[in-house]
Amino acid sequence: MTKKIISTGAIFGVLAIILGAFGAHALKKVLTPEHLVTFETGVRYQMYHALFLILIGTLTDLDEKTKKKIYYLILSGVLLFSGSIYLLATNDLTPFDFRTIGFITPIGGFLLILGWAVFLLNILKKKS
């Protein structure tokens, strides 16, 4: 599981850099400044959670069950949160109205919060 967690973090990191560069260069010409800021928010949160997954994967204090729980919460959260933000920010460039699936953004955000909460609770219950 450790290799999977760290690999996913690395993949999220690589994709965040690619999407950030894409947003800064290609999308800058076709998106409004507001939509570009929204897109950048998705990139930023994706990178934060890429680093978080790498941290989780390298920690020896966390048991495998906890790592797995955090991994799936963060994986799902990034896909729903950042993924929906990318789609919503570029909505005007496609014929499909992605605002109809906008409700998944806060669900993704909630899953990210839960991932951090599981991490926090696990750290707090550890004996010094």
All structural domains of the chain with their residue ranges: 2-123
Q: Which residues make Cβ contacts (< 8 Å) with residue 60, sequence separation at least 6?
A: none
Q: How much is the average pLDDT of 68-83?
A: 97
Residue 91 has pLDDT above 90, yes or no: no
**pLDDT tens digits along 6-62:** 999 999 999 999 999 998 888 888 888 999 999 999 999 999 999 999 999 999 989
CA–CA gap between residue 10 and residue 30 (Å, rounded): 29
3-state DSSP assignment of residue 126: coil
Which of 20-24's residues contact partners 24+ apart within 8 Å by CB, and which partners? 20/47
Which among 47, 52, 20, 53 has a CA at the least distance from the CA of 36? 20
The single-letter code of the amino acid at 18 is I
Q: Which residues make Cβ contacts (< 8 Å) with residue 123, sequence separation at least 6?
A: 61
72 vs 95, residue with greater confidence? 72
pLDDT (0 to 100) of residue 25: 87
pLDDT (0 to 100) of residue 128: 65
**Mean model confidence pLDDT for the chain:** 93
Which among 109, 90, 105 has a CA at the least distance from the CA of 22? 90
CA–CA gap between residue 20 and residue 42 (Å, rounded): 9
The tokens for 108 are 């993704």
pLDDT (0 to 100) of residue 84: 93
